[in-house]
Chain A
Amino acid sequence: MSTDPGIKALFEPNSVAIIGATPTPDKIGNRIMDNIVHYLVGETDKSKGFQGKIFPVHPKAEEIMGLKAYKSILDVPDEVDQAIIVVPPQFVISVLHECGKKGVKAAVIITAGFGETGKKDAEQEIVKIAQSYNMRIVGPNCLGIYNPHIQFNGTFADEAPQKGTLAFISQSGALCISAILHSNKVGIGYSHFISIGNKADVDDADLLEYFADDYKTKCIGLYVESMPDGRKFFEEAKKITWRQPIVVLKSGRTSYGAAAASSHTGSISTQDASYEAAFKQAGVYRAKEWFELFDVAQAFSTQLPPDGEKIAILSNAGGIIVISADKAADVGLKLATLSEETIAKINEVCPPTWSKQNPVDIIGDADHVRFRKVLQILVDAPEVDGVCPLFNPGSRAVPDKVADAIYQVSTTTKKPIVCAFVGMDHLEAFKWLNYKGIPTLPSAERAVIAMKALVDRGKFLRRENVDSLTKKYEGCK
């Protein structure tokens, strides 16, 4: 499989030109320069930025941020892998031609004012230029691209994501910033992060294979509003979901033409039903809500899917036990029936008032030791395929110690663990667990949903490995 050099240049450039770079502070062309030179994660952590070659392009300036500036990209003496374009819309086409002549592998058009404002012709022109120079083009109308592993922030947003294993594609630029702020707060890291804009040339499907082949990436997440070539996405996704999980939030669920359809099937088929079908058939997990997208992506990128479908839940709060049991029933998460042996083992480490069944209520006076012992018994139990420890703070147990207990147990098992630290009060413990690769969420319900996603992924993988012709139908599960 050969990687498209244009796609590679988007995420692993050796050199980058910023066309529209400017020495004037606070202009977008200045902020991008600053972000390329400094990689900012959090408010104080202003670490070194992109280490490749940086070529600011500006009609008059001699120098920007200590770097020699060029009047045109054609004046740059070196090869340019990626060009970031932030010139006013009327200059974009001519700048693109120059990039093409220069042999730039990929261009990112930050500039807005194309298809999204009805200027479809200009967008068509962009596609033609991409094809004629064999240059890949992202955007127009996007925030830019990050690769945290090489401290590359080619966007005009100051805040950058931290290193991790999630590759993320967003059709909304504004939501990129929300995603990064949330992720930095709770401890989710990224392998790649791209604001894909109007998708004139590069679309979601073009990136899937690159992400699937990337060893740092463990999950692909997408925020999608429209998918003009749904069939292409389906075909690409279908090729990779068996080796790389994909989580998508597809918004916009309006029905089309239902009234005009002339068959029964036509009248009940909606655009959303088609997306739903395509995602299911391709093995793509469809999140219904914004945070679910990150919860599930985090679970997929850190945990192995369970071999079976029976999950155990434990908590130190009776209320959480009931809430999580309800949510499990709602989403169809199956709870393991504990064996007599398991119950006997828990009897030895819990007061007699514990629930004696799954979900396992270890009682409000539980400390981190009881938490660890019961969690260990559950992950070791053969009837249990995965565990959700749901911690309710404010009781005897110290959050940091509970977090450590969960981490210690996680190192002894391949079974998935998805935690909740209910509320956002113990952010340090919370964040630490996420860094350690244990997905930790602020509510019991969200943990249950993420665990169900892992169970479904396990079922999907088992299905993919079975020859459908020899398999016997065993009923709906």
Chain B
Amino acid sequence: MDEINKIFEEVKGQGRNVLTYEESRKVMELAGVPLNKIEVGKNLDECIAKANEIGYPVVLKVISEDIIHKTEAGGVKVGIKSDSELKKAYEEMMESVTTYHPGAKIDGFSIEEMVSGVEVLVGQTTDPQFGKMIAFGIGGIFVEVYKDVSFRLIPISENDVEEMYCEIKGRKMLEGFRGMPALKMNDLKSLLLNISKLVENHPEIKEMDLNPVMVTKEGLKAIDARIILE
């Protein structure tokens, strides 16, 4: 049994069908999906070391099972550009988190590579008539507003990827609009074909989202992942 199956078995064994963020990321990583870097630090010194490993800017997030709404608790700080900014963010976070949740057990901090660029969506869904479908389009929080997304039946070919791309009305945004990094067709092909293969090999996957996937100079980077099993 491969590692992806192991994760799915574990999730199902716990009576769940929705993978956690960490589990979803792990599956995506195993499937060859490019993700932003994430490291974990236990204290400020470790956080600084990890941030330097990843490279600034970074996002700092508190890890605690007691704190469900991280943002409200002040447990998320974005756009940290240097060691001194990280130190300041860390101290502010400790204070606000303990004020918000006195006695919360803090397991550590995640230091995440902060990537910016145009946001696209890659997803998958299961249709009652056609089975496994893959989706690609303009991503971010306005997906449901623009609905600028193209679908195909899994498995897909390279030609299908090109046609999906050409169906996106807002594709000008992905072609180096106002100096923003342009989407490279080969990156998109490899990402979509990897997802297609993942779902073909694991039909127990019912739905998934990679949203957003950032179009960066270095290529595509998914910064959020969500997998739901049948």
Binding site for B on A (CB under 8 A): 227-231, 234, 256, 261-269, 271, 273-278, 280-281, 463, 468-469, 471, 473, 476-477
Contact = CB atoms under 8 A, between A and B. Distances in A.
B122 to A, nearest CB: 8
A278 B153 contact: yes
A229 B171 contact: no
A274 B151 contact: yes
Contact of A227 (B129, B159, B209): B129
Contacts of A256: 128
Contact of B165 (A261, A273, A468, A476): A476
A320 to B, nearest CB: 30
A230 B162 contact: no
B158 A468 contact: yes
A358 B135 CA distance: 39
A273 B171 contact: no
A263 B127 contact: no
B163 interface: yes
Interface in B119-161: 121, 123-125, 127-131, 133, 135, 139, 143-144, 147, 149-153, 156-160
A235 to B, nearest CB: 9
9 contacts: A227-B129, A229-B129, A263-B207, A265-B123, A265-B135, A265-B209, A268-B149, A269-B127, A280-B152
Given A264-B209, A265-B209, A280-B163, A231 B125 contact: no
A231 B131 CA distance: 7
A476 B164 CA distance: 10
Given A277-B153, A281-B152, A473-B185, A268 B130 contact: no
Interface in B211-226: 211, 226
B125 A266 contact: yes
Given A264-B144, A277-B133, A271 B209 contact: no
A180 to B, nearest CB: 29
Contacts of A278: 130, 153
Contact of B125 (A269, A280, A476, A477): A269
A264 B207 CA distance: 9
B159 A263 contact: no
B208 interface: yes
Given A231-B153, A277-B150, A277-B152, A263 B208 contact: yes
Contacts, number: 99
Given A277-B151, A468-B159, A230 B135 contact: no
Interface string B67-95: 00000000000000000000000000000
B38 interface: no
B31 interface: no
Contacts of B129: 227-231, 271, 274-275
Contact of A265 (B124, B130, B163): B124
B228 interface: yes
B152 A268 contact: no
Contacts of B171: 476
A205 to B, nearest CB: 12
Which of A229, A230, A268, A473 has the largest number of chain B CB atoms within 10 A?
A268
B166 interface: yes
B228 A274 contact: no
B158 A265 contact: no
Interface string B158-187: 111011011000010000000000000110
Contact of B207 (A262, A271, A273): A262
A76 B160 CA distance: 54
Which of B144, B147, B151, B211 has the largest number of chain A CB atoms within 10 A?
B151
A473 B208 contact: no
Contact of A231 (B18, B130, B156, B157): B130
Nearest to B165: A476
Contacts of B208: 263, 265
A262 B125 CA distance: 10
Contact of A263 (B125, B139, B158, B163): B125
Contacts of B144: 264, 267-268
Given A262-B207, A277-B133, A476 B150 contact: no
Contact of B158 (A229, A230, A469, A477): A469
A261 B162 contact: no
A476 B153 contact: no
Contacts of B162: 473
A259 to B, nearest CB: 11
Nearest to B185: A473
Contact of B133 (A274, A469, A471, A477): A274
Given A277-B151, A473-B162, 15 more contacts: A261-B125, A261-B207, A263-B208, A263-B228, A265-B125, A266-B207, A268-B143, A268-B147, A271-B128, A274-B130, A275-B129, A281-B153, A281-B163, A471-B159, A473-B185
B207 A265 contact: yes
Interface string B181-200: 00001100000000000000
Contact of B123 (A264, A277, A473): A264
A274 B127 contact: yes
Nearest to B124: A265
A75 to B, nearest CB: 43
A264 B208 CA distance: 8
A281 B228 contact: no
Contacts of B166: 476-477
Contacts of A262: 18, 207, 228
Contacts of B226: 263
B224 to A, nearest CB: 10
A299 to B, nearest CB: 22
A277 B164 CA distance: 9
Contacts of B147: 268
Nearest to B162: A473
A263 B123 contact: yes
A476 B18 CA distance: 37
A273 B137 CA distance: 13
Contacts of B209: 263-265
A234 B143 contact: no
Contacts of B163: 280-281
A356 to B, nearest CB: 33
Q: Which 5 A-B pairs have the closest CB atoms?
A: A265-B123, A230-B129, A476-B166, A277-B151, A230-B130
Nearest to B164: A277
Contact of A271 (B123, B127, B131, B135): B127
